[in-house]
A and B are shown apart, each in its own frame.
Chain A
Amino acid sequence: MRSLAELEQLKRHAQKELGVRGIGGYCRATFIVHMGTDGIAAGAREVLLAILDELKRLGIHDCRVTQTDVTGFGMKPPVVDVVTPGHRVETYTGVSPEGVRKIVAESLVESRVAAV
């Protein structure tokens, strides 16, 4: 270790990893995929993987992806809730893996707006 700057860099890098544990503070958005039985039947798992892929493709680490088993009545599965700072919740229904890219993009723009 040669300098404080080097340590800082290492730290930032490491913190991305630990974002999941709420370490390193800031979380841009949380994607909650509804994984009830009907959700899974409708392809929720593929949607979840697609979100992960998309985040990875964009190199974004300060987002969380979690799952829940409740699906609101009358909503068309798969359902994804996106929670952004300020506890704004956006709910997407009938999501397909292909639609994920748009949701991610929107949410991150949203969150940026919200964060300001």
Chain B
Amino acid sequence: MGVLYRAHVLVCGGAGCVSSGCRAVQEALKSELAKQGLDKEIKVVETGCMGSCDLGPVMVVYPEGVFYRKVRPEDARDIVQEHLLKGRPVERLLYHTSQREIIQQMEDIDFFAKQRKVVLRNCGIIDPEDITEYIARDGYEALARVLTEMTPEEVIDVVKKSGLRGRGGAGFPTGLKWEFCAKATGRPKYVVCNADEGDPGAFMDRSVLEGDPHSVIEAMAIAGRAIGSNQGFVYVRAEYPLAIQRLKHAIAQAYDYGLLGKDIFGTGFDFDLEIRVGAGAFVCGEETALLASIEGKRGMPRPRPPFPANEGLWGKPTLINNVETYANIPPIILNGWEWFAGIGTEKSKGTKVFALAGKIANTGLVEVPMGTTLREIVYDIGGGILGGKKFKAAQTGGPSGGCIPAEHLDTPMEYDTLVKLGAMMGSGGLIVMDEGTCMVDIAKFFLQFTQDESCGKCIPCREGTRAMLDILTRITEGRGREGDIELLEHLGTTIKDTALCGLGQTAPNPVLSTIRYFRHEYEAHIREKRCPAGVCAALVHYEILQDKCKRCGLCRRSCPVDAIEETTEAELVAAGVGAAGADMQAAGASQGAISQPASSPKRKPLFINQERCIKCGVCMRECRFQAINRC
């Protein structure tokens, strides 16, 4: 120590940025700094995720706080020579708003400015592999206070009063759960962290583990003290190698500093922490399946009661909380429950991290106070819909959740409101859909996921999701029948009512909620054999607009299955391919002389034989006169 670095370059090392190449950027930066003799004055730090993954690799140069995005290794030279040496920020790497405005400072960018970071307070700011940086940010102070100044009852009381609810999906009051575990009589007790994060598209837990692993370690030790446990397990999915590596490193450091292990802070409190790597099945995130998996058994849920708080790991009382839930604990202890309870809404306190994805300008992780409206998230933080299209709906809660249509854009994002709308908070996945999304198709997509991931134990989930999927498939393929919507509703409610675990109990949600808000789309598929969004391939037709067609024949030559045929206008009318087509053709026939291109007076009109057409769309791409329509 003792060396004062005049600047720190924080390179995002979240898995998103790693996959977009931040490691190479980091290397290039370091070698350029060495070349310029600046490596003694400027420090390069790899941090956890900064949240703006679609801009990656991203970096921030301190002390100025200049934010660079989409940095490539070739840019290292300019960043060093221009910015770090001469103080000229490299403009082409700065963030541009949709209005082409250039923004230098991270905190001035809407995406960051409108967030409130509690859980992600350290992510992207500290080096997750250096425990002292966590300590500099008040790390382990909460644990110290809990151990030296508070009784376990006081700790539980603070958590209860804070109003914190589980971030793993169901939103169960955390303090209450801690209290159940504390009161349970079995010994020993265990503390488990659920970092399975199987919800596709969600990555908040991964980001916390990658960017701020100590916050979870500290919280688990606090939980251990509160409920009377000396052993913790973090269950991480194998698909998160970086998170596992950072967590391992952090645990080792915590042991080195005496923050884990025996006699922590000289208080006689011991706490050990181990990592268990899961095979990565979605259902293993369900708490009883997760516990079975830790015990080395097949990850299959079992009925509750008994609840893990009374009979968990090896039949002993076990506290199981989500990563994000734990990450809230140290600040609650340090700042007091009043502080935490002051954020959010009446029944949903604190903040929530969402993983923004889909047809939205800014994707990535955002943390906002509970109760922030969907509109604020989508438009103010997310920058609105891509390509200026219209917002159609947002899916919250991933495959267990439901969709929220445009008319509910002003819904505050909080547990109970979402449930009322037929959606749910889930782990915080937020997928934004625009007008080009077919809601039947989306429902099918999610159901396909849950039916693949069903553990196979109980009949309603295993067979019921399949039966629903069969029905959805036939609807999207144009074989839907009258009564299918009602059958879906019947199956959906029965599955919710009978399935063993949360997976099955929530699997029908995407279908039920899309039926609730977009029933007309289902009806269009079934009755009119039409996909209003033009997504369902089987329901899409290509047709030639006779008034625009120049009869050049390019489409005809490009069609791989010779579905485009020449015909006489009379034949065309007689063939009557679909009402729309016939109208068009009728119009074409009557105005034939006018629209007949002079260049090819003798060529006959072309039309698409719908029975042959395989809907590949080549003709439409080839046509130079936009004379082919998809509908």
**A contact set with B: CB distance below 8 Å:** 1-4, 7, 10-11, 13-18, 20-24, 30, 32-37, 40, 45, 48-49, 52, 55-56, 61, 64-69
Q: Are A3 and B265 in contact (CB under 8 A)?
A: yes
Q: Which residues of B contact A55 (CB under 8 A)?
A: 4
Could you tell me if B64 and A66 are in contact, using CB atoms closer than 8 angstroms?
yes
Chain B residues whose CB sits within 8 angstroms of the CB of A13 once the complex forms:
1, 132
* List of B residues within 8 angstroms of A1 by Cβ: 140, 144, 257-259, 264-265
When A and B form their complex, which 3 residue pairs have the shortest distance between CB atoms, in order from nearest? A67-B87, A14-B136, A14-B132
**Majority DSSP secondary structure for residues of B touching A:** loop
* Complex partner residue of B85 from A2, A4, A22, A35, CB under 8 angstroms: A35
Q: A56 → chain B, closest Cβ, in Å?
A: 6
Q: Taking the nearest CB of chain B, how far is it from the CB of A51, in angstroms? A: 8
A24 contacts which of B62, B64, B136, B141 (Cβ < 8 Å)? Answer: B136
Shortest Cβ gap from A64 to chain B (Å): 4
A22–B65 CB distance below 8 A: yes
Closest to A12 in B: B136
Return the chain B residue nearest A5 by Cβ: B144
A-B contact count (CB 8 A): 106
Within 8 A of A (CB), among B1-56: 1-8, 10, 41, 43
Nearest CB on A from B331, distance (A):
15
* B456-481, CB < 8 A from A: none
Whether, in the assembled complex, B266 has its beta carbon less than 8 Å from a beta carbon of chain A, the answer is yes
Determine if B8 and A20 form an interchain contact, defined as CB atoms under 8 angstroms apart: yes
**Do A52 and B141 have beta carbons less than 8 Å apart?**
no
Among A16, A20, A35, residue most surrounded by chain B Cβ atoms (within 10 Å): A20
On whether the beta carbons of B85 and A61 are closer than 8 Å, the reply is no
Contact B258 A30 (CB under 8 A): no
| A4-B265 contact, Cβ under 8 Å, with A22-B63, A40-B86 | yes
Give chain A nearest CB distance to B330 CB in angstroms. 13
> B residues engaging A (CB < 8 A)?
1-8, 10, 41, 43, 62-65, 84-88, 125-126, 132-133, 135-141, 144-145, 148, 257-259, 264-266
Q: How far is the CA of A42 from the CA of B404 in the complex (A)?
A: 62
**Shortest Cβ distance from residue A102 to the other chain B in the assembled complex, whole angstroms:** 20
B264 and A23 contacting across the interface, CB-CB below 8 Å? no
- Given contact pairs A11-B141, A24-B136, A36-B86, a sample of 8 additional A-B residue pairs in the complex whose CB atoms are under 8 Å apart: A2-B266, A11-B138, A21-B8, A23-B126, A32-B87, A37-B86, A66-B63, A67-B85
> Is B4's CB under 8 angstroms from A7's CB?
no
Measured between C-beta atoms, what is the minimum distance from B183 to chain A in Å? 29
A104–B411 Cα gap in the complex (Å)? Answer: 55
What separation, in Å, do the CA atoms of A55 and B4 have in the docked complex? Answer: 8
Give 10 pairs: A residue, B residue, CB < 8 Å, sorted on A: A11-B141, A17-B5, A18-B126, A20-B8, A20-B63, A23-B126, A35-B86, A52-B41, A66-B6, A68-B87
- Whether the pair B132, A22 counts as a contact (CB closer than 8 A) is no
Q: How far, in angstroms, from A14 to B139 measured CA to CA in the complex?
A: 11
Contact of A20 with B136 in the complex, beta carbons under 8 Å? no
Q: Which residue of A has the minimal Cβ distance to B144? A: A4
Interface-central residue, A7, A11, A21, A37, by most chain B CB under 10 Å: A21
> CA of A20 to CA of B136 in the docked complex: distance in angstroms?
13
- Chain B's closest residue to A45 (CB) is B85
CA distance A1 to B126 in the complex (A): 21
Evaluate contact between A52 and B4: CB separation under 8 angstroms.
Answer: yes
Evaluate contact between A7 and B63: CB separation under 8 angstroms: no
Knowing A14-B136, A22-B65, A40-B86 touch, does A64 contact B148 (C-beta < 8 A)?
A: no
Nearest residue, chain B, Cβ from A69: B88
A20-B7, A21-B8 known; A2 vs B86 contact (CB < 8 Å): no
- Verify B258–A21 contact, CB threshold 8 A: no
Find chain B residues with CB under 8 A from A35 CB: 85-87
What is the chain B residue whose CB lies nearest that of A39? B86
Q: Are A30 and B86 in contact (CB under 8 A)?
A: no
The chain B residue sitting closest to A24, CB to CB, is: B136
Q: Once bound together, how far apart are the Cα atoms of A9 and B53, in whole Å?
A: 36
Q: A20-B8, A21-B10 are in contact. Are A7 and B62 (CB under 8 A)?
A: no
In Å, the complex CA distance between A81 and B625 comes to 63
Q: Which of A3, A23, A49, A68 contacts B125 (CB 8 A)?
A: A23
Are B144 and A20 touching (Cβ within 8 A)? no
Q: Are B63 and A69 neighbours in the complex by a CB distance under 8 Å?
A: no
CA of A20 to CA of B3, assembled, Å = 12
Instruction: Please name all residues of chain A whose beta carbon is closer than 8 Å to the beta carbon of B266 when the two chains form the complex.
Output: 2-3
Rounded to whole angstroms, the CA-CA distance of A108 and B138 in the bound complex is: 27
Bound Cα distance A14, B257 (Å): 14
